[in-house]
Amino acid sequence: MADEPLKPVTAEPPRPPIDPFADRSLSDSDRDRLYAEIAIEADELERRSRLLRKVTALVTPTVVHIDTKKPSSLDREGEASEDESGSGVITRVADQAVVLTNRHVIHGAELDAIRIRLDDGREYRPTRVWTDPSTDIGVMALPANRLQTARVAEDDRLEIGDTVLAVGSPFGLAHSVTLGIVSAKGRRDLDLGEGNVRFQDFIQTDAAINPGNSGGPLVNLRGEVVGLNTAIASNSGGSEGIGFAIPVSMVMFVAEQLVENGNVSRAYLGVTLDRRFSQRTADRLALVRPMGARVSGVTRNGPAETAGIRIDDVILEYNGVPVEDDDHLVSLVSTTPAGRTVALRVYRERRSETIQVAVGVREAFEQ
């Protein structure tokens, strides 16, 4: 009798995943299996939540709530005052613990009209205030000890898409924490407040920022301050997912000079830049497209002229940093210590060359 052909053994097909919305009458075994699947998937999210809790525990003790009373227009009864609130973060600057905040939060208020409330409930009035209108940065000294200070990021490695947290007192609700990502970097043409914020290089984030968040920290997942929350773009006056923060590199450049010297001394290059650098001009210069910052004027006897910079030079790099446009170059120069020698990579007559420039002191050239 001939052997019967062997029949292939087929494995049982995998069970399809449970759709909890397809049939609401799940069996007990299906419910147990669904709970097990959820536990596995939730574990990953809970690990992230534990990280966020640790970051929050590190940062919130360093964040302060600020209340100010400022003079406003007179009413029929006589003098009037305007209440304003904001946030700040305690960190170390020039070997002392200070509060960093926005200038617009405290500007116009006397020292005894500023009240700073710490995370542990203590309240103080600052003993000294420094501000810089060109960047909207303010610094306050406190007559307090046992202060917990925030750690500041040491470099500008923040990238678009990175997760960040904003901490502050929106609408007076102290120590509120919101989560988002970095939406963009290098926002430099914002119309803010009095319109005198001259040096801009904002981080854009979708972490919810509302009135009262101003001056509070933007932090990364390492618990380090990467920015100072400053403004929102909103039609309603509340958060619409577009907030702006000053990068911590600019904050610390300004804060260190304010604390050490009482004012900010910035570098001066001595060039006028083409704000309308067009494709037509790029074609004339034999560039594929407008790039970098085109020099349209050179200040007589200024650092750039002394170094040999000419009209129609296109500055492509500033001290190794690729220059995006004219506003970017202004921002780079504004955070350079006066008197330093910097390397400019310049496109000139169809070739590039590197020119060393000893930048001057801006106050010596500008009123």
Q: Which residues are catalytic?
A: 104, 136, 214
> What token pair was written down for 174?
């102290």
DSSP β-bridge partners for residue 70:
82
Amino acid occupying residue 87: S
Determine contact, residues 254/136, Cβ cutoff 8 Å. no
Give dist(CA 267, CA 334) in Å, integer.
6
The DSSP code for 94 is: T
Taking the C-alpha atoms of residue 177 and residue 166, their distance in angstroms, rounded to an integer, is 6
Q: Do 275 and 326 form a contact (C-beta atoms < 8 A)?
A: yes
- Give the span between the Cα atoms of 222 and 51, in whole angstroms: 9
At 3, list the tokens. 């052997």
Is the distance from CB of 207 to CB of 166 less than 8 angstroms? Answer: yes
Count of C-beta atoms within a 10 Å radius of residue 23: 10
Rounded to 5 degrees, φ, ψ at 327 are: -65, -35
Q: Give, in order, the Cα–Cα distances in Å from 70 to each of 105, 192, 263.
A: 10, 19, 23
